[in-house]
Structure 1
Amino acid sequence: MKLASQRSSTSLADQLHATEGEIAADITQIMREETNGLKDDYRKQVRDAGMGNRLANTWRSETYPKGGRSLNPAGYVWSNAPAIIDAFAKGAYIRPVNGGKWLWIPTRNVPARRSGGAYASSVKRSNGTRMSPEEVELHFNAELQIVIEGNKGEAFIDVVSGLSGGYRRATAGRTQGRRGMAPRKAKPVLMFTLTRGVRMPRLYDLDGPAQQRAANVARRIRAKWG
C-alpha cells in the first residue's frame, strides 16, 4: 500500500508540473504578443502623426523572462527618443535654455547641413537638419537682421537668388554681374521666426493603448484557463 501511494503521488506531481508549464507557456506567449502589439500601436501613432519611420522605430519592446516562460511574465515597451515622445504625449511647453530669450525656429529658406560642411559653429547638429543662426551667418557671410514686435520676432539676411534655386551670398560679383550674367539684386530673406516659447501639440496617447493591451492579456488568460 505504501509503494502504491508513492507512485500515485509522484504521478500527480508530474501532471501538476506539466500543467503548470503549459499554463506558463501560454501566459508568456500572450504577454509577448500583447507587448509587441503595444509597440506596434505606438509606432503607428508616430507614423499617423506624420513623424516618419525613423522616430516610429525608436519604440522597442521586450518580454521577460527572455527566451523562457513564467506564470508571472512582464512586458516592457520604451522609446530610444524619450524626450521627443514625452513632449508630444504631454503637449509640453518648450522654452529657451541657458539664459536665452528666444527660440529660433528655422524657415524653409534656411539651408540644410551637408556632409563635409565645416563651420566654426558652437552648435553641433547632424547633417540634413537646418543650420543654426550662427551657421547661417557663416554660410552667407552676413549678419542676421532681427525685427522684434512684442513677444515675437523675425530674422532676415541679405542674399541673392541662386541660378538653380535657393539663395547665395550677396557677393560683389553677383550683385554687379559677372561673366556676362545679369546682376542680381540683394534682398532680405526671412530665415528664422523668434518666439518666447512653443506649446507642442499632443499627438500621442500612451495610456489608452497600454490599458487596452493590459485588458487584452487578462481577457485572453481567462478565455484560455478561466
Structure 2
Amino acid sequence: MKIVGRISGDLKELMNTRFDEIADAARAAVRSASEGLQAELRRQTRAAGLGNGLEKAWRLDLYPKVSRRRTLRPAGLVYSKAARLHDAFDDGEMITARNAKWMVIPLPAAKAAGFDRDPHRREGRQIGLIPPKWSNIDAATAKFGALRFVPIGNGARALLVADGKARGDTLARGGAGRATSIPLFLLVKRVRGRKLLDLAAAAKQAEAQLVANLSNILGR
C-alpha cells in the first residue's frame, strides 16, 4: 500500500517563496497518513490475536528517506514483512502444509507442557540455526515416548496421543493409579483461515486522511 502526496496546479510564484515550507508540510501530511495506516493495520492484527510478531511485521518507509531532501512529491510505503500470512488472514484462503503431509496444531495439553515453543529460543532471541517450531513433536516424544497416531473421521484429520507415564513424570492419572492417554497434537491436511483483517478498508481510510491533510496545506 503506497501513500503518495502530490500538489499540482499553477504554484510557481508560491513555490519560489515558500517551497521549503510547503515541502515540509507535504511530508508531514504523508507521514501522518502513513503512520495512521501502519497503526490501524497493527491494531487489526492485535485485535485478531495473531501475535506480536505479525503485529510488528507491518513496517513503514518514508520517501525521500533523507528528511532534508525536500520535494512536493513525498511518499509513504506501508508494507508487511509477513505478507503471505497477512494476505491469508485478509482473504480467508485455504492454508495447506508446505513440504509436509500434515500441519501440526498443539492442543491445550501440549501448550501446558511447553511443546508449542522452540527450546532453542530464549527471551525472544534465537540461538543457533534451528528455526522456531510451533509444535515440538520431538520434545514430546523424548518425554512421553512414541506418540500414537489416531485418525479422525474420513482421514483428513488425526491426533497424536501420549499414552501412559512420561519418563520421570506421570502424564495423567485416573483412579487407582492408572495412567491416562492424552491427545497432544491435532494433525490437519488443510484448513481454511478466517478473514481476520481488512486491508482494503485500512488503505481507504488512510487515503481519506491523506486528502484531508493535503487540503489543509492548500488552504493555508
TM-score if structure 1 supplies the norm length?
A: 0.71
Alignment of 1:137 with 2:141, yes or no, is: yes
State how far apart, in whole Å, the 1-side matches of 2:81 and 2:209 are. Answer: 26
Task: Determine the structure 1 residue equivalent to 2:75.
Answer: 74
Aligned length: 190
What percentage of residue pairs aligned between the two structures are identical? 29
Task: Determine the structure 1 residue equivalent to 2:197.
Answer: 204
- Summarize the alignment of residues 118-137 of structure 1 with structure 2, pairs less than 5 Å apart: 124-126=130-132, 129-132=134-137, 134-137=138-141
- Given that 2:94 and 2:192 are in contact with CA atoms closer than 8 Å, whether structure 1 keeps it comes out as yes
Structure-2 change in CA distance of 1:99 and 1:126 (3 Å): closer
- Given that 1:61 and 1:77 are in contact with CA atoms closer than 8 Å, whether structure 2 keeps it comes out as yes
Structure 2 residue ranges without an equivalent (≥5): 1-11, 122-129
Deviation above 3 Å: which 4+ runs of structure 1? 13-16, 113-117
3-state DSSP of counterpart to 1:217: helix
Instruction: Give 1:125 shift.
Output: 4.1
Structure showing greater radius of gyration is 1
Report the aligned-residue RMSD: 2.9
Instruction: Give 1:114 shift.
Output: 6.2
- Summarize the alignment of residues 27-46 of structure 1 with structure 2, pairs less than 5 Å apart: 27-46=26-45
Further displaced range: 21-30 or 136-145 = 136-145
Structure-2 change in CA distance of 1:146 and 1:203 (3 Å): same
Task: Determine the structure 1 residue equivalent to 2:164.
Answer: 159
Amino acid at match of 2:45: V
3-state DSSP of counterpart to 2:187: strand
State how far apart, in whole Å, the 2-side matches of 1:217 and 1:116 are. Answer: 44
TM-score if structure 2 supplies the norm length?
A: 0.73
3-state DSSP of counterpart to 2:62: strand
Instruction: Give 1:147 shift.
Output: 2.8
Amino acid at match of 2:201: G
Task: Determine the structure 2 residue equivalent to 1:178.
Answer: none
State how far apart, in whole Å, the 2-side matches of 1:16 and 1:170 are. Answer: 78
Amino acid at match of 2:85: I
3-state DSSP of counterpart to 1:204: coil
